[in-house]
Structure 1
Amino acid sequence: MTDPSLIETELRAVLRDCLGLPQHRVDAFDADTGLFGHLPELDSMAVATLLTEMEDRLAITIEDDEIDGEMLESFGALLAFVTAKRQAG
């Protein structure tokens, strides 16, 4: 899966499933939508679940040193991270 629209669709599904968000809410995310620190559902406990699910469903490996606040700051930042990982993989 290297098609950017497919990656975005799957990332939205991961966020929906891991955080228990309704589909319409996830569909409304744009590049500037805040994630960590903005979504009460995405707390420190949910981050581990989210990252594991992203690895499994998006076929990427996330190294510990790649996890930082910038990556989880917004939907756009997370999508850019995942897209870069998929293209490099």
Structure 2
Amino acid sequence: MQVEDQVRSILDEILGLDGRASSFESATPLLGSLPELDSMAVIGVLNAIEEYFDFVIGDDEVDGGTFETFGTLAEFVRTKLQ
């Protein structure tokens, strides 16, 4: 499964989006646009990403820009995998 597809799946599951994440494109806004994505949900998404991709995300690696759009989140994951 591609990074983007797995990130969509994680967002859908953690945020309870009922399949809406499947239509997310790179420019789809996340933080501030999805009411489901509050501070607690961000932690849940990050934990699920860490678990699925088997890496650790440091507190200093994440800022508001990470969750600005679906594309910025997917790129963050791709960068961590390198």
**What TM-score, normalized by structure 2, do the two folds share?**
0.93
- What is the aligned partner in structure 2 of residue 46 from structure 1? 41
SS at match of 2:45: helix
Q: Which runs of 4+ in 1 moved over 3 A?
A: none
In structure 2, what is the Cα distance between the partners aligned to 1:31 and 1:14? 16
Shift of residue 21 of structure 1?
0.6
Structure 1: segments with no counterpart, 5+ residues: none
Give the aligned length: 82
**What TM-score, normalized by structure 1, do the two folds share?**
0.86
SS at match of 1:70: helix
Identity %: 44
RMSD: 1.0
Letter in 1 for 2:34: L
